[in-house]
């Protein structure tokens, strides 16, 4: 019985994973190197898409009213503005705004600042 090969090689050359892998390239009209680059780029695009999908699950924005009335947390997407919450109330104090740090040195502008990750905003109070 005669052994006919498509590429004219011997049976020894056709053994192993190299032959199986090479077989994929005979169906396309581009070089192995080009196809490898396409596979790499598509793989990278897939990883980026998963990353974006993960990030788009949203971030929690918590409010620490520091002794004032409770302000509900919000789930926001990357780049979104925080919805202006109802101002907290604390007896004997005046609410002066939200800050990104516990030391109340970095104010958060609800009309401009956008969410870039999970965060807590802290209430600043002034005595009446």
8 Å CB contact between 53 and 76: no
pLDDT digits (tens, 9 = 90+) for 71-92: 999 999 889 999 999 999 999 9
User: What does the pLDDT read at residue 7?
Assistant: 53
Tell me what the pLDDT averaged over the chain comes to.
84
Average pLDDT over residues 45-72: 87
Q: Which domains does the chain have, with CATH numbers?
A: 1-57 (no CATH), 59-127 (2.60.40.4270)
**Nearest alpha carbon to residue 67 among 87, 50, 91:** 91
> What CA–CA distance (Å, rounded) separates 65 from 67?
6
Q: Which residue did the predictor score with more confidence, 31 or 72? A: 72
User: What does the pLDDT read at residue 97?
Assistant: 97
């Amino acid at each position: 019985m005669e052994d006919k090969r498509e590429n004219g090689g011997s049976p020894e050359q056709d053994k192993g994973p190299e032959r199986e892998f090479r077989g994929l390239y005979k169906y396309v009209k581009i070089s192995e190197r080009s196809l490898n680059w396409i596979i790499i780029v598509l793989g990278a695009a897939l990883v980026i898409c998963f990353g974006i999908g993960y990030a788009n699950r949203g971030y929690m924005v918590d409010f620490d009213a520091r002794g004032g009335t409770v302000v509900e947390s919000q789930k926001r997407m990357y780049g979104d503005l925080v919805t202006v919450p109802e101002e907290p109330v604390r007896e004997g104090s005046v609410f002066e705004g939200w800050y990104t740090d516990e030391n109340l040195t970095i104010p958060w502008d609800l009309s401009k600042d956008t969410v870039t990750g999970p965060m807590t905003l802290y209430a600043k109070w002034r005595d009446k």
